[in-house]
Amino acid sequence: TSEETIASTALVHLDADSHYTQTSLAFGAKVARLETRVTHQEPSAKATLNAAYLVGKDLHTDFTTHVRHGANSCVTRQLTKGAVLNGGTGVFQGKFFVPRTAGQYTDADMQHKALLLEDGAVVFAKPELEIYADDVECAHGNTSGALDDDQLFYMRQRGLPEKTARALLTQAFVAEAFAEAGALEEVLRAEAESWLAAV
């Protein structure tokens, strides 16, 4: 989008045994921040927070999340994937907070993976775990890199133009973030495909 500023905040409070799934796709703006704050306020709730960003030249996307495991036996799964062109900026800030007394038996996993599609692409990532409970399973991971040269070579050897090969590999990379979107999965895949075909 060519809008100057986009700011969006979602506040989510989960009751016992509730399930919340959020899937987001962002293309950026001059400044764009999409923030989600989740509180597990009663036991055995589950949150799935998935997102993808595709950012072009002179555009910016920031996904910021804060998840408070304020009740026992709650689960969070978070996957954010991004791809950034020269002159674009992607930002991921994620935090899981697990208090000492209320967060026992937390099961949480946060993953951020980004592709820098061209020289001059910028990605900032800050995944955080703040854990005070002692009986938890929590993990986080962060990777940033370029498309795999061997995969590009393989696809080029089968007659695909470089632009098409790069688009297909990028589309496959971000598609994992749409897996929990239900009926909207195909819509999100199509939007990502359209963006990749246009760049």
> Per residue in 26-71, pLDDT tens?
999 999 999 999 999 999 999 999 999 999 999 999 999 999 999 9
Cα–Cα distances (Å) from 108 to 45, 136, 198, in that order, read 12, 8, 37
In a domain, 156, yes or no: no
Predicted model pTM: 0.93
User: By residue range, what is the domain housing residue 57?
Assistant: 5-147
In a domain, 40, yes or no: yes
In a domain, 169, yes or no: no
In a domain, 179, yes or no: no
Q: What angle do CA 94, 34, 178 make, to 5 degrees?
A: 80
Q: What is the pLDDT of residues 152-197, one digit of tens each?
A: 888 888 888 888 898 999 999 999 999 999 999 999 999 999 999 8
CA–CA distance, 141 with 76 (Å, rounded to integer): 14
Residue 4 CB neighbours (<10 A)? 9
Quote the number of domains for the chain. Answer: 1
In a domain, 196, yes or no: no
In a domain, 88, yes or no: yes
